[in-house]
Amino acid sequence: MTTWAPDVLGDGYQQLTIPLGTDPDGEGHVEATLVRYRPDSTVPTRAVLYVHGFTDYFFQRHVAEHFTARGYAFYALDLRKCGRSRRAGQTPHYASDLTLYDAELDEALRLVRDEVGGPVLLTAHSTGGLILPLWLDRLERRPGGSAGAGVAGLILNSPWFDLQGPSLLRSAGTSAAIDALGRASGRTEIPGQKLDTYGASLHIGAHGEWEYDLEWKPLTGFPVRFGWLRAVRRGHARLHRGLDIGVPSLILRSTRSVVASRYNPSVDAADAVLDVDQIARWAGCLGNRTTIVPIDGARHDVFLSTPGPRAAALHEVDLWLGRLDAHHLTDNVTRETEATA
């Protein structure tokens, strides 16, 4: 029996702990946290499941409310060692292999499907936008594939498809060095971090409009460690070889990136974290039907952009959801026709 408890986001929000057993990375017992938005007793027959990025957790009430208004039950997953799920003594967001997240993703999908009965639309931001396609590619290889597991489609918000910065950082030699350091010194912090440029653009206590827990999402971000970066680079390499996620996808990103050592107004109208050209370059690696929409003036998290780009991004989501419904309707008619032929 599942027991939902009140969530920190307040009225209508509840959370459920997902036990995951002993941490393969040696940091004790690990758990994930499933959050749901249930403003009334109505339970729609389809759902959205949202996954956050690095130095992040789910707090975007407006996203939950947007999907709920369009007839979806809304759920979000705080991954192990992230946000609501991090326990004392655990390294924030640390995982030595991205496949470890399969455990909570499988269980979250099962729980959501048990509650709504119908299809589940997945959506993810940044590092979550790498984790989910890799998981879906593995899910597609199981009997029935992604669609058979109840997945209807995928929306990615500025997915992390490659390293940002000079091409030297993506060279074979650099990748080999990261791989070696990640194996030998996994929890060693990578130097040269602690910039608050992006965080300051978001948080209401600095230059932004969003209120969130700075213990769970600090302005300077959590330290990036060699073992975690090794896992991410292995994920990038797998993505670049081409995936088959089995369902249609929508990719949203900003039209440009900006590099800044401190906050300035340009950070409010560009991606200050990732290289949008790298997102564009690798977007075709997901397989199936892929729609790519640049949002002019968007931030790294397009759903946390200033009001104009944010509204444009949500409008693109709505347009795509209409096409997704039409796509599935066509598929159903085709299957019925084949069955009676």
Residue appearing with tokens 């060095």: 177
pLDDT of residue 323: 94
**CB-based contact 108:18 (threshold 8 Å):** yes
User: DSSP letter at 256?
Assistant: -
Q: What is residue 34's three-state secondary structure?
A: strand
Alpha-helical (H) ranges within the chain are 61-69, 102-116, 128-140, 145-148, 172-184, 197-202, 226-240, 276-282, 307-340
C-alpha distances out from residue 267 to 89, 219, 328, Å? 34, 14, 38
**CB-based contact 289:327 (threshold 8 Å):** yes
List 51's β-bridge partners, or say none.
77, 124
pLDDT of residue 190: 87
Residue appearing with tokens 């996203």: 63
List 47's β-bridge partners, or say none.
73, 120
pLDDT of residue 16: 98
Name the nearest CA neighbour of 150 among 328, 335, 337, 333: 328
pLDDT of residue 184: 72
What is d(CA 145, CA 153) in angstroms, rounded to the nearest whole number?
13
What is d(CA 22, CA 131) in angstroms, rounded to the nearest whole number?
21
pLDDT of residue 336: 46
Residue pLDDT tens, the chain, 341 long: 579 999 999 999 999 999 999 999 999 999 999 999 999 999 999 999 999 999 999 999 999 999 999 999 999 999 999 999 999 999 999 999 999 999 999 999 999 999 999 999 999 999 999 999 999 999 999 999 999 999 999 999 999 999 876 554 545 556 676 776 777 778 899 886 688 999 999 999 999 999 999 999 999 999 999 999 999 999 999 999 999 999 999 999 999 999 999 999 999 999 999 999 999 999 999 998 999 999 999 999 999 999 999 999 999 999 999 999 988 765 654 444 444 55
What are the percentages of helix, strand and coil residues in the chain, rounded to 5? 40, 20, 40
pLDDT of residue 187: 87
